[in-house]
Chain A
Amino acid sequence: MAEIVDARGLSCPQPVLMTLTKIKELSSGEFEVVVDNEVSRENVSRAATNAGWQLAQEREENEEFHLVFKR
């Protein structure tokens, strides 16, 4: 089960800060970020991929975006 970063209801820069904090904790592996707006989806994707992680899976459920990153 991938670790989950719940950034729903939060606006920038907090979802990105939470994602980068998780990236600092994990040198490799998998984690999932949950956001509920398009801007956070774009910003989190951009930040994680810039940090060398791959967006392995992305799905939208109930107006929430689930982004799974792997490295």
Chain B
Amino acid sequence: MKNVFATRWGIIVVGAVIGVLAALLQKFGNPGNMGICVACFERDIAGALGLHRAEVVQYLRPEIPGFVLGAFLSSLLVGDFKPRAGSSPLARFLLGMCAMIGALVFLGCPWRALLRLAGGDGNALFGLVGLVTGVGIGTIFFRYGYSLGRTYRQGWGVGLLMPIVMAGLLVLVFIFPQTEGQPQNGVLFYSVKGPGSQHAALAISLIVGLGVGAIAQRSRFCTMGALRDLILFNHWHLFSGFLALLIFAWITNIILGQFHPGFVGQPVAHTQSFWNFAGMLVAGLAFALAGGCPGRQLFMSGEGDGDAGIFVFGMIMGAAFAHNFGLASSPNGIGPHGIAAVAVCLIVCLCIGFTNLKKIGE
């Protein structure tokens, strides 16, 4: 059976649907220009679990488990569920950490970079240029034979781990729901102010998460892959979905009165242009070297890809580091150790890149 989602029109429709849903999630309560942000939402989950204690970014965002479980159910339904793992897990964990730290210097993942631009935040342009540069550097590594090695088939149990973990997180939300004005219920922390306190109703977030997970899994939607394939092969397939997300989020924002062009005073954003660029450069390079944007890593982990699951946990750990040690930015600007974090993460990514050039001398 032909996979209509993987056709040119399929990927465009998926990008458009994600763009519209993301803008609607903002209308329903998610933070400004943050209808969907994989990095921010995983950071909020790290906060909800107490892995960091930044009080304004603690909420177990149901969209993330929704993405994984939507992709899991979709892949199970059509036979795409293939448990696999074993391709340089530690390198992927560290790439996940670097990707998250870079994204939190910019304040957003590639999805949010598009949504910020679609909401009129000019600072996102510097992040997007950084993203293109980072992915571009990644393609140079691929041209010279970069590979993290082959992955291997695993038993069903391994493939089920990530969906089970995500289902477990959802169970925690139902056992310990948010109590009005309270910063904690049982094992979960909740923000009472700031971006972590702004969210759509649980059912809406979960349903959108499941839906996006399913269609993104079928279409192979990937914001990093969009840029990588364009730079590396001049292939426009994924990029057409990337553009559709931007355009349809922008149109929806205009209709909903959420488009506010400018640089200053944008929601959950700072105006330090170079560090917006550099943070996203590091994130883009890390996503490229790991083979997928943060959303795609979640969808692949739902398909049974244990290596993608490792990357996701690396990102969550990176978020904990970023907020525990002053690496993450805030609307006031970069964190006290943000510059050092960008430098260290860039060096880590370059080391992983150079030390995995398999074909040198062949």
Interface residues of A (CB under 8 A from B): 8-14, 16-17, 20, 36-39, 42, 46-47, 50, 63
A55 shortest CB reach to chain B, Å: 13
21 pairs of residues in contact across A and B, judged by CB atoms under 8 Å: A8-B150, A9-B84, A9-B149, A9-B150, A9-B152, A11-B87, A13-B228, A13-B291, A14-B142, A16-B233, A17-B142, A17-B143, A17-B232, A37-B84, A38-B79, A38-B80, A42-B3, A42-B6, A46-B235, A47-B233, A63-B82
B132 shortest CB reach to chain A, Å: 16
- Indicate if the CB atoms of A12 and B151 lie closer than 8 Å: no
A-B pairs, 9 with minimum CB distance? A9-B150, A11-B291, A9-B151, A42-B6, A38-B80, A39-B220, A13-B232, A13-B142, A10-B150
What residues of B have a CB within 8 angstroms of the CB of A8 in the complex? 150
B71 shortest CB reach to chain A, Å: 12
B237, CB-defined interface residue at 8 Å:
yes
- Indicate if the CB atoms of B151 and A11 lie closer than 8 Å: yes
A19 shortest CB reach to chain B, Å: 10
Contacting A at CB under 8 A, from B59-80, are 79-80
What residues of B have a CB within 8 angstroms of the CB of A17 in the complex? 142-143, 232
- Indicate if the CB atoms of B232 and A37 lie closer than 8 Å: no
What residues of A have a CB within 8 angstroms of the CB of B79 in the complex? 38
- Indicate if the CB atoms of B150 and A13 lie closer than 8 Å: no
Q: Of B80, B143, B147, which contacts A10 at CB under 8 A? A: B147
What residues of B have a CB within 8 angstroms of the CB of A37 in the complex? 82, 84
Bound Cα distance from A13 to B143, whole angstroms = 10
Bound Cα distance from A7 to B215, whole angstroms = 26
CB closest chain-A residue, reference B217: A39
Interface residue count on the B side (C-beta < 8 Å): 24
Bound Cα distance from A20 to B229, whole angstroms = 13
CB closest chain-A residue, reference B146: A14
Q: Of B3, B80, B142, B235, which contacts A47 at CB under 8 A? A: B235
B225, CB-defined interface residue at 8 Å:
yes
Contacting A at CB under 8 A, from B145-194, are 147, 149-153
Interface centre among A13, A14, A47, A63 (most CB of B within 10 A): A13
A17 shortest CB reach to chain B, Å: 6
- Indicate if the CB atoms of A42 and B220 lie closer than 8 Å: yes
Bound Cα distance from A44 to B3, whole angstroms = 15
- Indicate if the CB atoms of B225 and A12 lie closer than 8 Å: yes
CB closest chain-B residue, reference A16: B233
A35 shortest CB reach to chain B, Å: 11
Bound Cα distance from A12 to B152, whole angstroms = 15
Further pairs besides A16-B233, A38-B79: 5, Cβ < 8 Å:
A11-B87, A17-B232, A20-B233, A37-B84, A38-B3
What residues of B have a CB within 8 angstroms of the CB of A16 in the complex? 233
Given the known A-B contacts A37-B82, A63-B82, are A13 and B233 also in contact in the complex, defined by CB atoms under 8 Å?
A: yes
Interface centre among A12, A16, A17 (most CB of B within 10 A): A12
Bound Cα distance from A16 to B233, whole angstroms = 9
What residues of B have a CB within 8 angstroms of the CB of A63 in the complex? 82, 153
- Indicate if the CB atoms of A13 and B220 lie closer than 8 Å: no
What residues of A have a CB within 8 angstroms of the CB of B220 in the complex? 39, 42
Bound Cα distance from A11 to B150, whole angstroms = 8
CB closest chain-B residue, reference A7: B150
CB closest chain-A residue, reference B222: A12
A8 shortest CB reach to chain B, Å: 7
A9 shortest CB reach to chain B, Å: 3
Contacting A at CB under 8 A, from B204-249, are 220, 225, 228-229, 232-233, 235, 237
What residues of B have a CB within 8 angstroms of the CB of A42 in the complex? 3, 6, 220
Bound Cα distance from A66 to B152, whole angstroms = 18
What residues of A have a CB within 8 angstroms of the CB of B3 in the complex? 38, 42
B153 shortest CB reach to chain A, Å: 8
What residues of A have a CB within 8 angstroms of the CB of B235 in the complex? 46-47, 50
- Indicate if the CB atoms of B237 and A46 lie closer than 8 Å: yes
Bound Cα distance from A12 to B142, whole angstroms = 10
